[in-house]
Amino acid sequence: MATLTESVLVEASLAEVWDHYFDPRGWPAWVDGFRSVESSEGYPEEGGTLIWRSSPAGRGTVRERVLEHQLRRRHEIEYSDPESAGKLLTRFAIEGQATRVALALDYRLAGSGPLAWVVERLFVRGRVRGSLQRSLARFKHEAEEVATLGDPNRPAV
């Protein structure tokens, strides 16, 4: 199993960052390869499930189950898609006026065999790391924009 970690500092409050992270209306803008939610039951609470589809060039159908959900601190899921399975731990921490979002991804490829380790190291790991980095960079941009300008999806009062 491979482990990758990435983090980003978002110039927004913990409450704003947390709320944006779990708002499915924003996922297409920042989750790398995300297309649409197929079903959601009890998500993001512990034991909840989420099934989503990626863009045509993406991961296909992704199934998630929430293992842990600590309000404004941690969210851990296990996931599977046609090519891989694993766990993703997301941690949230206040740093001054900003919020650190840290991802720890443990994954394994669906295929096995004598070359699986080499393929993962040489070809897959960089693509997976790039996907995490793109998602976090987009999340930072989107969350900071919502924190500064307000949520365009919420009706004005």
Please check the confidence at residue 52 and state whether its pLDDT lies above 80.
yes
Residue 49, CA distances (Å) to 44, 109, 149 in order: 8, 21, 31
Q: Report the number of distinct structural domains present in the chain.
A: 1
Does residue 43 lie within any of the structural domains? yes
- Write the pLDDT tens digit of every residue in 7-49: 999 999 999 999 999 999 999 999 999 999 999 999 999 999 9
Does residue 91 lie within any of the structural domains? yes
Does residue 156 lie within any of the structural domains? no
The total number of residues written for the chain in this structure: 157
- Write the pLDDT tens digit of every residue in 63-111: 999 999 999 999 999 999 998 999 999 999 999 999 999 999 999 888 7
Does residue 92 lie within any of the structural domains? yes
57 lies in which domain range? 2-149
Does residue 154 lie within any of the structural domains? no
- Other CB atoms within a 10 A radius of the CB of residue 110 amount to 11
Does residue 155 lie within any of the structural domains? no
Please check the confidence at residue 153 and state whether its pLDDT lies above 70.
no
Does residue 157 lie within any of the structural domains? no
For residue 114, whether the previous peptide bond is cis, meaning omega lies within 30 degrees of 0, is no
Strand order in 74-80's β-sheet? 2-10, 98-109, 84-95, 74-80, 61-70, 49-54, 34-41
Q: Which pLDDT belongs to residue 154?
A: 58
- pTM of the entire structure? 0.89
Does residue 27 lie within any of the structural domains? yes
CATH number for the domain harbouring residue 144: 3.30.530.20
Query: What phi and psi values does residue 47 have, to the nearest 5 degrees?
Result: 90, -15
